[in-house]
Chains A and B, each alone.
Chain A
Amino acid sequence: MSAALQNLVNQPYKHGFVTNIESDIAPKGLNEDIIRLISSKKNEPEWLLAFRLDAYRRWLNMVEPAWQNVKYPKIDFQAISYYSAPKPKKKLASMDEVDPELLRTFEKLGVPMHERAALAGVAVDVIFDSVSVATTYKEKLAEVGIIFCSISEAVQLYPELIKQYLGTVVPPGDNYYAALNSAVFTDGSFCFIPKGVKCPMDLSTYFRINTEESGQFERTLIIAEEGASVSYLEGCTAPRFDTNQLHAAVVELIALDDADIKYSTVQNWYAGDENGVGGIYNFVTKRGLAKGRNSRISWTQVETGSAITWKYPSCILRGENSVGEFYSVAVTNHHQQADTGTKMIHIGANTRSTIVSKGISAGQSNSSYRGLVRITPAARNARNYSQCDSMLIGNQCGAHTFPYIQVQNNSAQVEHEASTSRIGEDQLFYFSQRGIGAEEAVSMIINGFCKEVFQQLPLEFAVEATKLLSFKLEGSVG
């Protein structure tokens, strides 16, 4: 490993700082009273409290899963504070009223909200810790009938929509962390695209985890009615802490007939230092239901942060001719661990799915692809293509592939291929021969390796992701 590359890998986390805003924090621990407290703080209807309590009781009877290919000390769920909200000042009407401290945070992150909103035409629903503080472009979206707000707002304003869809794709008892999330989720985004509406702009949410030791449990629900389409962007950065933070989100997508949902994520949470101390535990349940005919759900993710990433954005292809897609780049360095992949459940006839997964491991990290392609007996003429490539940088990291392929219909065509490679000396030599230094060469090789996935990202994200990858891996090759 060359010195230059060593330096690159070892770059400190650029977004590590803590914003001092008074937080309204619930006492540590989890019990029914805490859940009642969260529910009453958020002024929730009775049925939602019942939903939470039901999930909590299920969670109590569940066992923490241990099948994943990641290792971490046991989480003490009683040592986490389950509610933290910036002190409510007053209702905000414009960006000027937002806490200047908060605005400075975004500027440090390089997210000039108003600029971004104006220049890129992005409506940003900013989640600062658990409560949504500012929402822009809401009116413009409201003109075409799109609802885009925080989920707690939606509970107040559109309770019937929430009641109809919440927990239908990821039921409260789905898995350990989904049950936990269902019991204690504090905020997240809600998006509803009515019949026939094509969302005029990319919707985007920036998440920040801010209060130390407060796990964040967001809940995102996106519904696209018949013929609607939306592209949703999720981007994440978190400040530097030495105690591990748990992040257990749930994302549910529902696409009705002819609807199209594209969900893109760039995740760059604090990954811990080079010795593997600290960092976020990212245990997320993401699932989309392609319910209607000809519907389409597409997941794109660039996972570069978190000490542990453990998530499988999935598609349930129930509607006839529905399409599921999964494009992923997972980069791990130092002691990071990633166990990620997807599930494609083919139920409807003529359903198609594509999986492209690229894993890059450096340092002493481990990354795993774990995926399921299931063709149920009813899924006539289903089609799946999966491709998983891994790249190893250095001889102390690991790359693993665990695809499950279950076919119960003989008209299905399922293909899976995987390969492993590394950046060869000869490749670097070729570049240096043409006057391109090792660092730049590595960046170019990696971008080429991930190209198929980056092409799926919206433009601004593609730029961000490319940059992110190069400074993430700086110094790790040689």
Chain B
Amino acid sequence: MSTAIWDDYLEKLIESWKKETQPFRTVSYLNRLRTNALNRVESLRLPTIRDEEWRFTDISSLRNTPFPRASTISLLSLDSQKNTFLNEPVCRLVFVDGQYIPELSSLVDDDSVTVCRLSGLANTCASKAERHLGQLADFQDSVFVALNTALMHDGVCIVIPANVSATIPVHVLYVTSGKEEVAAYPRCLLVAESGAEVTIVEEYVALREGASLTNAVTEIYIGESARVNHIRVQREAPQAFHIANNATFVAKAARYDSVSFAFGARISRFDQKITLAGEGAECQIDGLALIAGRQLADTHTFIDHANPHCGSRQLHKCIVDESAHGVFSGKIMVRPHSQQTDAKQLNHNLLLSEKARMDTKPQLEIFADDVKCAHGATVGQLDKESLFYLQSRGLAEEAARNLLTYAFGGEIINRVVVASLRQRLEEYILARTRIS
């Protein structure tokens, strides 16, 4: 990856963004980080399908559009607010085309959640950001993380203080207005201090169809015995590029639950890295990709068992229709001396049409002997017996198919703890399966 080739696409990109990017005034650390990342970008290049990690995901079409920064700030109509905001009281942070919109956001009054913009870091947030921002998501080997770090202009730092349970969920909403073909480089850092608890919903939505680029990086630091419940929904426009990196650090006895949904985008790529960095840390990461048309959804996960007595569970599902292409690569690493590791990974894929394609690569790398590790992967179509059973109960074949497809995805949706979001996802998947 890191051959020193100067990529002319990256060069132009950096040049055009440099002009518009203001230095961060309050924290010099951020400017330093940005410069380091910029230097790193110079020795990286865009990955091609000749790179093992990008074998099935051809992003060369990304070069065709420059994707500049949004020139105007748009607000959401009441209607779109209704479709994107959650019914429950939440701490809401809204970004439109990469810009933070205070008018649409609503912060909590109590002290359970502290939110700061990167451009105005203060107090606790400043020290947390200095300690963790750019530390969890490594930009040395990933050109997209490096680009995000180099070009980040707006973003948030969320801190949950020690031994505090956030009273309401945090909803970070990234909206693509679709008015022009723009790029957004959103950045989010969540720090749950030891013993803290929080539910965070990270959602990407598009207001209308059209090409756009989102290159998002989310870093989550979970302190000792803290718990973070993370729900990620990606519903970008069918022409969009969505590239995201999540990096999570799970300290001793802490727990991380994550559910991610990939519904939109022409090409979406989601890299999720979880480091179980303390004894007894646990994580459960589930995912669902539902794609059709000529969409490509690529999920790469990496669970690093770096300490003894850690546990991980993973269930990833893909429903691939029409000429869509699903990609999954999940690696479980068990470092030397990480004894008593208990890791389980499952990947089930449903191909609904003849042209649908699925590439999956579950991987285990194990360097300790006293461990329980297993993974499984299946690719197939709907079970004929089940279809027959439903039909024999009077369901039309079409209805039976839709019901089974819905049930296949429903297992993941049930993991969503925020009721109104779960309902919205259920409706969404019902609508999608009805079309097919």
Contact = CB atoms under 8 A, between A and B. Distances in A.
B70 interface: no
Interface string A371-410: 0000101000000000000101111111111111111111
Contacts of B378: 413-416
Contacts of B349: 407
Given A390-B366, A400-B364, A407 B376 contact: no
Contacts of A412: 351, 379-380
B408 to A, nearest CB: 14
A12 B378 CA distance: 43
B11 interface: no
Among B353, B371, B379, chain A packs the most CB atoms within 10 A around the CB of B379
A400 B371 CA distance: 13
A143 interface: no
Interface of A: 67, 375, 377, 390, 392-422
A418 B344 CA distance: 10
A350 to B, nearest CB: 15
A413 B380 contact: yes
B372 interface: yes
A416 B370 contact: no
A410 B359 contact: no
Contact of B360 (A390, A398, A405): A405
B357 A401 contact: no
Nearest to B343: A420
A418 B336 contact: no
Contacts of A418: 362, 364, 374-376
A402 B359 contact: no
A410 B354 contact: yes
Nearest to A421: B372
Interface in B362-395: 362-381
A411 B363 contact: no
A395 B369 contact: yes
B361 interface: yes
Nearest to B363: A402
A396 B368 CA distance: 7
Nearest to B362: A403
Contact of A410 (B52, B351, B365, B367): B351
B211 interface: no
B375 A395 contact: no
B374 A417 contact: yes
A395 B379 contact: no
B356 interface: yes
B126 to A, nearest CB: 42
A161 to B, nearest CB: 38
A390 B369 CA distance: 10
Given A396-B336, A412-B380, A421-B372, A406 B359 contact: yes
B1 to A, nearest CB: 13
B351 A407 contact: yes
B9 to A, nearest CB: 26
Contacts, number: 112
B339 A395 contact: yes
B358 A416 contact: no
> Which 4 pairs, one residue from A and one from B, show the smallest C-beta to C-beta distance?
A410-B351, A392-B369, A420-B373, A417-B376
Given A401-B362, A410-B356, 9 more contacts: A377-B355, A395-B337, A398-B367, A401-B365, A407-B358, A407-B359, A418-B364, A419-B374, A420-B371
A421 B372 CA distance: 6
Given A395-B336, A420-B372, A407 B379 contact: yes
B237 interface: no
Contacts of B372: 420-421
B374 A420 contact: yes
Contact of B354 (A401, A409, A417): A409
B161 to A, nearest CB: 39
Nearest to B346: A417
A375 B361 CA distance: 14
> Binding site of B, secondary structure by majority: helix, strand, loop or mixed?
strand
B381 A410 contact: yes
B352 interface: yes
Given A416-B376, A421-B372, A399 B336 contact: no
A397 B369 contact: yes
Nearest to B360: A405
Interface of B: 52, 336-337, 339, 349, 351-381
B364 A420 contact: yes
A410 B356 CA distance: 7
A159 to B, nearest CB: 40
Contacts of A415: 376-378
Nearest to A418: B375
B368 A392 contact: yes
Contacts of B373: 419-420
A397 B357 CA distance: 36
Nearest to B371: A420
Nearest to A394: B369
Contacts of A397: 367, 369
A377 B380 CA distance: 14
A399 B366 contact: yes
A67 to B, nearest CB: 7
Nearest to B352: A410
Contacts of A413: 378-381
A399 B380 contact: no
Contacts of A414: 377-380
B354 A403 contact: no
Contacts of B356: 410
A67 B52 contact: yes
A411 B337 contact: no
Contacts of A377: 354-355
A375 B366 CA distance: 28
A381 to B, nearest CB: 10
B377 A403 contact: yes
A399 B377 CA distance: 18
Contacts of A419: 373-374
Contacts of B360: 404-407
Contacts of B353: 410
A443 B8 CA distance: 60
A408 B357 contact: yes
Contacts of A422: 369-371
Contacts of B352: 410
A420 B354 CA distance: 35
A404 B354 contact: no
Contacts of B354: 377, 409-411
A124 to B, nearest CB: 40
Contacts of B365: 398, 400-401
A420 B352 CA distance: 32
Contacts of A407: 349, 351, 357-360, 379
A166 B367 CA distance: 42
B166 to A, nearest CB: 37
A18 B369 CA distance: 37
Given A410-B354, A420-B364, A395 B376 contact: no
B361 A403 contact: yes
Contact of A401 (B337, B355, B359, B363): B363
Nearest to B338: A395
A112 B369 CA distance: 40
B363 A416 contact: no
B373 to A, nearest CB: 4
Contacts of B375: 401, 416-418
A398 B338 CA distance: 12
Contacts of B359: 404-407
Contacts of B371: 392, 420, 422
Contacts of B351: 407, 409-410, 412
Given A407-B351, A410-B353, A420 B377 contact: no
B339 A399 contact: no
B345 to A, nearest CB: 9
